[in-house]
Amino acid sequence: MRQKFIAGNWKLWGTLDQAKALVSALTPALKSSKNRFLVAPPYTALSAVKELTKGTSLLVGAQDCSNLETGARTGEISVPMLKELGVDVVILGHSERRQFHGETDKLVNEKIKLVLKHGLEVIYCNGETLAEREAGKAAEVVIRQTKEAFAGISEADLKKITIAYEPVWAIGTGKTATPQDANEIHQVIRQTVKELYSKAAADAMIIQYGGSVKPENVKDLMAMPDIDGALVGGASLKADTFLPICLFDQ
């Protein structure tokens, strides 16, 4: 049985006060669940959020990192800097990074390797655009993305990687993939991991779904055999909506 893993991606949201208030509302409520949880606040709130989550089950994630450890990259943040703050997980390859910052599969692969080298975990995102889905290419796209992202990564390192399937057309749009459609692509991704590594690696891989996950649709999504959790954007910004998602099985 794979453990369910629910993560909140706050994107460009959250003053320090908002971040502290939200985390303080989440931690006591999540205490008794056997699921795994994470919040990924903006960089400016990482330190404060880490402090508040000490001794709790809530993991802290960063939303990106540089592909370099140090150097001339104005505005970027490195893995060692995130590690120093106590960050547990780095989200990589999010479609907004690909769309607005021109990130390629090759760059995402470099970042994954760097994060693993420093012993942190990765949530690796992939997913097709609306045009790709309409052209019948959803499976082809995620297979290509997964192969490129995992190039040069050992089977032992997979334990530190979660995959988040996020169809781009479902992110922030209110359109959710049907549980069946999502599960179909999750199976394609799992099969790709099997071909690249082994059946054991594929069976163990946690694959989250992301894209307009809400309290109203979370149960049906999590009931699918290959959906092992969620990467939540908009609905993770309020305890009122994030907690029912985290605790969907209670």
Residues with catalytic roles: 94, 166
Q: Distance between CA atoms of 59 and 164, rounded to whole angstroms?
A: 16
Nearer to ligand PGA, 14 or 211 (CB): 211
CA distance 169 to 187: 19
Q: Scanning residues 100 to 159, which ones bind ligand PGA (CB under 6 A)?
A: none
SS3 call for 43: helix
Pick one of 139, 213, 224, 246: the residue that binds ligand PGA (CB under 6 A).
213
- Cα separation, 165 vs 43, in Å, equals 23
Rounded-to-integer distance, Cα 144 and Cα 138, Å: 10
Residues 219-248 binding ligand PGA (CB under 6 A) are: 231-235
Least distance in angstroms from the C-beta of 61 to ligand PGA:
11
Q: CB of residue 173 vs ligand PGA: minimum separation in angstroms? A: 7
Task: Report the distance separating Cα 207 and Cα 204, nearest Å.
Answer: 9
Taking a C-beta distance cutoff of 8 angstroms, is the pair 77, 97 a contact?
no
Does residue 162 belong to the site contacting ligand PGA (CB under 6 A)?
A: no
Which C-beta is closer to ligand PGA: that of 31 or that of 175? 175
* Count of residues that bind ligand PGA according to CB under 6 A: 13
Q: How far is the CB of 235 from ligand PGA (least distance, A)?
A: 6
Query: Does residue number 9 form part of the binding site for ligand PGA (CB under 6 A)?
Result: yes
The answer to whether 171 contacts ligand PGA (rule: CB under 6 A) is yes
- Could you tell me the smallest distance in angstroms from the CB atom of residue 218 to ligand PGA? 11
- H-only helix segments in the chain: 16-30, 43-53, 79-84, 95-101, 105-117, 130-134, 138-149, 179-196, 199-204, 218-222, 239-246
Q: Per CB under 6 A, does 45 bind ligand PGA?
A: no
Pairing status of strand 207-210 against strand 161-165 = parallel
Kindly state the smallest distance separating residue 96's Cβ from ligand PGA, in Å.
7
- Which of residues 64, 105, 132, 166 is near ligand PGA by CB under 6 A? 166
- Six-digit token pair at 220? 């049906």
**Residue 9: CB minimum distance to ligand PGA, A:** 4
Q: Count of CB atoms within 10 A of residue 250's CB? A: 10
Query: Do 45 and 87 meet the contact criterion of CB atoms below 8 Å apart?
Result: no
Give 231 or 246: the residue with its C-beta nearer to ligand PGA.
231
Give yes or no for a contact between 87 and 62, defined as CB atoms under 8 angstroms apart.
yes
Q: Using CB under 6 A as the criterion, what x/- string covers residues 172-211 for binding ligand PGA? A: x-------------------------------------xx
Q: Tell me phi and psi for residue 4, to 5 degrees.
A: -70, 140
Cα(128)–Cα(140) distance, rounded to whole angstroms? 9
- Residue 212 makes contact with ligand PGA by CB under 6 A: yes
Name the residues that contact ligand PGA, by CB under 6 A.
9, 166, 171-172, 210-213, 231-235
